[in-house]
Amino acid sequence: MRDLRSTTDRSKFNLLPTPLRSFIGICILMILLVSCSKDAIESEPVNLTQDDSLRMGMPVDTWQEQVAVLDRRMRRFHNFQVAQAQGYNLLVSPYVPQMGYHYLNPNRVNGEFNLLEPELLVYHPDEDGNMVLGAAEYLVPVDLNNPPPPPAGFIGEEDEWELNPNAGGWTLHVWIGVDNPDGIFAPYNPAVPVSPPGN
């Protein structure tokens, strides 16, 4: 003797229109997939880069780590056209021996040290006339008649802030593009020509 209840239950489901049955099947499948994905997401460890940590307010431990973060952030600006398009397009100095040309991004000048947003980039031309990124430079404008102490800047005591009357505030070079034998924070870099090629 057949079980009429199971036949009746199945036949009720079969009475549903095919599109509705498909929709119900898809919904059930989606619920299963979402619950499996959620378990996978919750069980995987999260590895943050230093850039991510810095953006999330988690400090790095050394000035060397800060320089590494800055170096990664500035890589795109080795392309001079990209730097110009991103706002580093206001030339604020003639060629400075053992530095180069200083290009300011006025939108970055806010009176504070922000590791990821230096106010200036320093370039010098190579023998072919291509602009070479030498340094990122920070500028914190101050009242030159009554200047406050230099900004905290990088971790430790290695950074060399200068009270620069030409710039109207505290400045700090970080030689991320051209190695500096005098130190990464030194204002001048003997590896950069004293004058542009051809002069």
133-161: pLDDT as tens digits: 999 999 999 999 999 999 999 999 999 99
> Are residues 124 and 134 in contact, defined by beta-carbon separation less than 8 angstroms?
yes
For residue 190, tell me if it sits in a domain.
no
For residue 158, tell me if it sits in a domain.
yes
For residue 168, tell me if it sits in a domain.
yes
pTM, to two decimals? 0.71
68 sits in which H/E element:
helix 63-74
> Are residues 77 and 176 in contact, defined by beta-carbon separation less than 8 angstroms?
no
How far is C-alpha 77 from the chain's CA centre? 11
Mean pLDDT of 158-166: 96
Residue from 188, 152, 150 nearest 169 by CA: 150
Res. 198 pLDDT band, cuts 50 70 90? confident
Do both 77 and 169 map to the same domain?
Answer: yes
For residue 188, tell me if it sits in a domain.
no
> Are residues 132 and 177 in contact, defined by beta-carbon separation less than 8 angstroms?
yes
Residue from 137, 89, 133 nearest 113 by CA: 137
For residue 130, tell me if it sits in a domain.
yes
Task: Specify the pLDDT at position 199.
Answer: 72
Do both 109 and 148 map to the same domain?
Answer: yes
Query: Residue 22: which domain range?
Result: 4-43
Task: Specify the pLDDT at position 163.
Answer: 97
Do both 12 and 67 map to the same domain?
Answer: no
Do both 70 and 38 map to the same domain?
Answer: no
Do both 114 and 36 map to the same domain?
Answer: no
CA separation for the pair 83, 105 (Å, rounded): 9
The count of structural domains within the chain is 2
CA separation for the pair 27, 32 (Å, rounded): 9
Residue 19 reports pLDDT greater than 80: no
Do both 28 and 107 map to the same domain?
Answer: no
Do both 65 and 133 map to the same domain?
Answer: yes
For residue 163, tell me if it sits in a domain.
yes
Res. 44 pLDDT band, cuts 50 70 90? very low
Res. 58 pLDDT band, cuts 50 70 90? low
